[in-house]
Amino acid sequence: MKKLVRNAAVGFAAVITMAGAAQAASTVQVSLWDKGANTPMTAGFAYGTPNVDMSKATMGMTAKPATVKAGKITFKVKNTSKDTIHEMIVMYRADPKDPLPYIAAENRVDEDKAGDKGEVSELDPGASGTLTVDLKPGKYVLICNVPGHFATGMWTEFTVKP
């Protein structure tokens, strides 16, 4: 009888552990970078710009991994810049071929119209921040929306799979 109770307890603990693992958030490391404040900001690198050579962008971001499963996702964001404030915003893309709505007079994306799902607000150089959101399957783009940064290449595509 003791063996049966112990086996049942071990089996129950395994089920609880597996259920907890299913609820655990995926973690994505995001790096915000630039080539330095003395490097002139270039334009023409906004998300959706055709035939753009991103190797010439003066600012950018990377997300690793770039694809995760749907559910709770934790973004651990690090501003690796030595002298520039950056941020990271998660945008859902109903149609990834469409450009993000842009307010040219303000030199930034219209966050309200673009499908903002959450953000790590302005990070000082060297600072870090965290965002945990529940995301459904689909295409997303992570952007920095400090005026002028998005158009210089501060974005990266991100995919959430079922």
Structural domain total, the chain: 1
Question: Is the pLDDT confidence value at 155 over 80?
Answer: yes
Q: How many whole angstroms separate alpha carbon 97 and alpha carbon 53? A: 17
pLDDT reported for residue 32: 98
Tens of pLDDT, residues 1-13: 555 444 444 444 4
Question: Is the pLDDT confidence value at 76 over 90?
Answer: yes
In a domain, 16, yes or no: no
Q: Name the band, by pLDDT with cuts 50, 70 and 90, for residue 91.
A: very high
The domain that holds 116 is classified in CATH as 2.60.40.420
In a domain, 65, yes or no: yes
Q: State the pairing for strand pair 155-161/67-69.
A: parallel
pLDDT reported for residue 12: 45
Domain ranges, residue 62: 25-161
In a domain, 18, yes or no: no
Of 90, 91, 93, 92, nearest to 77 by C-alpha is 90
In a domain, 62, yes or no: yes
Tens of pLDDT, residues 51-72: 888 888 899 999 999 999 999 9
In a domain, 14, yes or no: no
DSSP for 73-110 reads EEEEEEE--SS--EEEEEEEESSTTSPPPEETTTTEE-
In a domain, 13, yes or no: no
In a domain, 7, yes or no: no
pLDDT reported for residue 21: 47
In this prediction the pTM is 0.82
